[in-house]
Structure 1
Amino acid sequence: MIKFLLMMSRHGKLRLAKWFDSYTERERQKILRDVATLVLAREPSWSNRVDYPGLPEGIGNGSGSGRLANTPSVVSLGAAPRARLVYKRYASLFIIACLDGACADAGMNELLAMDTIHQYVETLDRYFGNVCELDLIFNFPNAYYILDDMLTAGEFAESSREVVLRSVEASDRMAGQERDDKPRA
Structure 2
Amino acid sequence: MIKFVLMLNRQGQTRLSRYYEPLEHSRRVPLETDVVRACLSRKKDECSFVEYQDFKLVYRQYAALYIVVGVTHSENELSTYELIQNFVEVLDKYFSCVSELDIMFNLDRVHVILDEIIVGGHVVETNRSRILAPLLALDKMVDG
The 5 Å alignment of 1:90-101 reads 90-101=62-73
Matched-pair identity in %: 35
Identify the residue that residue 58 of structure 2 maps to in structure 1. 86
The 5 Å alignment of 1:24-173 reads 24-53=24-53, 82-101=54-73, 103=74, 108-173=75-140
Report the 3-state secondary structure (helix = DSSP H, G, I; strand = E; otherwise coil) of the residue aligned with 2:111: helix
TM-score (norm 1): 0.75
CA distance in 1, matches of 2:55, 2:89: 26
Larger Rg: 1
CA distance in 1, matches of 2:87, 2:115: 10
4+ residue runs of structure 1 moved beyond 4 angstroms? none
Q: Over residues 134-169 of structure 1, what are the superposed CA-to-partner deviations in whole Å (9 max), with x where a residue is unaligned?
A: 100111110110000011111111010011111210
Any gaps of 5 or more consecutive residues in structure 1?
54-81, 181-185
TM-score (norm 2): 0.96
User: 1:172 deviation in Å?
Assistant: 2.1
CA distance in 1, matches of 2:46, 2:84: 18
CA distance in 2, matches of 1:88, 1:114: 7
User: Which protein has the bigger helix share?
Assistant: 2
User: Which protein has the bigger strand share?
Assistant: 2
Cα RMSD for the two superposed structures: 1.1
CA distance in 1, matches of 2:138, 2:70: 29
CA distance in 2, matches of 1:172, 1:144: 15
